[in-house]
Amino acid sequence: MLLLLGVLLVSIVGLIPAQSHAALGIELLVVSLAIGGVIAALPAIHETDEPKPRIWLWSRWAVRLVGTVPLVVGGASVLASSGGGLYWVAAGIAFAIVGAISNAWVLLVEILR
């Protein structure tokens, strides 16, 4: 849910009319760092009796990083007026949506009842 919330907030910030690249960059950085910080603070593995494979931990972190890091890079790039700017933001939005869909798939299909 946080990945989708990040996409929504970044999209809203990007739709504000007549703002400078510096204002947009700062807003993108604030939103993406806030969402990234909350996502990073979430526990990766819940305490259970059975140990989880290490690949499971890495895949969870990969989904988190791929959905948030491009947004941070895009915000910094827009602020600096170089380095790709909104292309990074678009990639971050796409990866965050894919990550949220993969999380939903695991929740709906792969978890044994």
Tell me the pLDDT tens digit for each residue of 41-72: 876 555 555 667 778 778 778 888 888 999 99
* Closest C-alpha among 18, 111, 103 to residue 67: 103
Task: Compute, in degrees rounded to 10, the torsion defined by CA atoms 104, 106, 109, 113.
Answer: -110
Q: Is residue 86 part of a domain?
A: yes
Tell me the whole-structure pTM to 2 decimals.
0.80
Q: Is residue 8 part of a domain?
A: yes
Q: Is residue 48 part of a domain?
A: no
Q: Is residue 45 part of a domain?
A: no
Domain count, the chain: 1
> Per residue in 74-88, pLDDT tens?
999 999 988 888 999
pLDDT more than 70, % of the chain: 88
Could you list the residue range(s) of the whole structural domain that residue 25 is in?
2-13+21-40+53-110
